[in-house]
Amino acid sequence: MANEQSRGPDSTSSMFFAITPHDTNPLERWTRAIHVGGAGVVKCRNELGAWVEFTCPAGAVLPVRTQYVHTDSTATLMVGLA
């Protein structure tokens, strides 16, 4: 049976991957959101190239599209939702 899931901007995530922060290497794909397992700051780059910091509690889902998560991030156990 063919996968009939919608892939529009408002559809749910169907791919998940562990995030290893790096200053210059991109993630394996753009995120739809980031699940934060351990509380802290998530520093990510937007489409214009600006770095932005978000303070997140444990268990938060941060709804951002990014391909870069900086090593200055203090949040742990981050999972990309794509």
Question: Count of CB atoms within 10 A of residue 7's CB?
Answer: 7
Exposure on the CB side of residue 11, measured as CA atoms within 13 A: 10
Q: What is the pLDDT of residue 24?
A: 95
Nearest 5°: the CA angle 41, 39, 50 is: 20
Q: What is the pLDDT of residue 1?
A: 45
Given a contact cutoff of 8 angstroms between Cβ atoms, the answer to whether 75 and 36 are in contact is yes
What averages of pLDDT result for each successive group of 10 residues across the chain (82 residues)?
A: 59 91 96 98 97 99 98 99 95
Q: What is the pLDDT of residue 33?
A: 97
Q: What is the pLDDT of residue 11?
A: 75
Given a contact cutoff of 8 angstroms between Cβ atoms, the answer to whether 29 and 15 are in contact is yes
Q: What is the pLDDT of residue 6?
A: 61
Q: What is the pLDDT of residue 13?
A: 84
